[in-house]
Amino acid sequence: MGRVKLHTRKTNTMLHNVLINGEWRASSGTATFNAVNPATCEPIDGDYPVSPWEEVEQAIEASAAASREMRGWPGERFAAFLEKFADRIEARADELVALANQETALPVSPRLKDGELPRTTDQLRQAASAAREGSWATPTIDTKANIRSMHGPIGPVAVFGPNNFPFAFNSVAGGDFAAAVAAGNPVIAKGHSSHPGTTRLLTEEAFAAAQATSMPTGFVQLIYRTSHDDGCKFVGHADVGAIGYTGSRSAGLRLKEAADRSGNPIYLELSSINPVFILPGALTERSDEIAGDFSGSCLMGTGQFCTNPGMVVLIAGEKTDSFVTAVAEKFSAAPVGTFLSEAVQKGFLSGVSALKDAGAELIVGGEAGGGSGFCCQNTLLKVDGTKFLENPEALQAEAFGNGSLFVIAADAAQAEQIAESLEGNLTGCIYSATDGSDDSVYDQIAPALRTKVGRLLDDKMPTGVAVSSAMNHGGPFPATGHPVFTAVGMPQSIYRYSMLQSYDAIRCHRLPASLRDEAPNETCWRYVDGNWRQGSL
């Protein structure tokens, strides 16, 4: 969502170091950038470097060397690191939260201190548990054919973190990082320009944890930024095993093209409008409650969630008209939050403009201002179902922020057509009556919506993403680059950073511990001759 303003290195300004091959050192690049406090629109002291290609290549070489050194290491080694890292984050929580608040304007409490930071350490510990126990690797044994297989590390992983979660999705502490390490891989973190200082502090603790647990020097590395061309070279490098990316669709697709040319798997989280269908019976039963649920979900965090409900489908009628009016009043009365950056503000206004150009009518908001720093008014638009179906692609433009589009269908059949016309999304939700009066309409819409979303919800807004083993934080394109994988939830998220490794007639003592006749531990589940079991053969 826009470009960070770059400048030439200043001699009188602190330049923060990169971490390459176990050494915090000055970057050899000449271009730098500042973080900006979005609440004040003022730069934060300290410059961060844009790494030139030779520096990126040095990081890749060091990561590849670490990957070779770690071949065959047991999951316990990686579990010990992840747990030590989680402990160190908690010991530095106050400093991390204060800097993240300064760089993102996200509130200290309850968002950063009480929510996101504990979530981050929890998922690191969940990843540690999965790595130690080993069932995630699905050890599979065919005793008759003497063929055995399991998932193992894929090699150096590059993680490109997003702007909106400085802890839980950070390139050096978030879910992608945790999953990559649990699979046994080194990580090169590419920090996000919105919160480079927070990423630097997290990397300091990751590096200290790596040293304390005797990991290779290239196990955790950090660069803050590259040119777009060097970013493409980075993801296409032969020594990179896989890439995790969360961000804009345009940048993600450019990286995907480069990775695909080299055959490197890249896991993308791009854009999602997370449609919510509210059926007539539900409005009759509890219209005020749903209006409150929706307004709270859409405006929470200034709408800067990948699961923000950016589109609501309703069926025309008096109850719908009253609902739209009630939500508009709530949006007008609610305080206006601060965006993460000027680029997010510009992107939101661009998205609103695109929806209006496509035929949507502005109900409320739609202008810059209304709050502190980088901000825009709480915004609602609407369009009728017929017009939506005439131009569905343009009317699914993402306006990332505190806004949403109401689509008013003529009837249930048109609501089903709208569901069929949707692009891929992370989530989709249906609110229906509890007395069964909406069941026939639900049965029309749900099968169509099910194929368009990674997570289907009933009577619940989609904003929260629980760190659960059953969670799917993924979905069909363009929500993600591949509908099979999730970015949240252990052990499922680990598979993205693994490769399936088969052993045919290998002598038992040469096999990985999880594939030998003797079980690696008492709790690891193995698929033996068509049955899941624990214990030794």
CA distance 382 to 395: 10
* Per-residue DSSP letter, 131: H
Alpha carbon of 409 to those of 22, 134, 206, 267, 417: distances in Å? 58, 49, 51, 35, 9
The letter for the amino acid at 217 is: T
Answer yes or no: are the C-beta atoms of 166 and 195 closer than 8 Å: yes
Q: Which two tokens stand for residue 57?
A: 């290549």
Answer yes or no: are the C-beta atoms of 50 and 29 closer than 8 Å: yes
* Per-residue DSSP letter, 375: -
Compute how many other C-beta atoms are within 10 angstroms of the C-beta atom of residue 340.
27
**Helical H segments across 302-429, by residue range:** 318-333, 342-357, 385-390, 412-420
CA distance 116 to 401: 19
**Catalytic sites, residue numbers:** 269, 306
Bond prior to 275 in cis (omega within 30° of 0): no
CA distance 372 to 39: 6
Burial 154-169, CB ≥16 within 10 A → b, else e? bbbbbbbbbbbbbbbb
3-class secondary-structure state, position 55: helix
Answer yes or no: are the C-beta atoms of 451 and 473 closer than 8 Å: no
CA distance 155 to 163: 26
Helix then strand count (H, E) for the chain reads 14, 24
Side-chain-facing half-sphere of 22: CA atoms under 13 Å = 13
**Rg of the chain in Å (alpha carbons):** 24
CA distance 315 to 129: 47
**Strand partners for 20:** 23
Q: Which two tokens stand for residue 96?
A: 């991390």
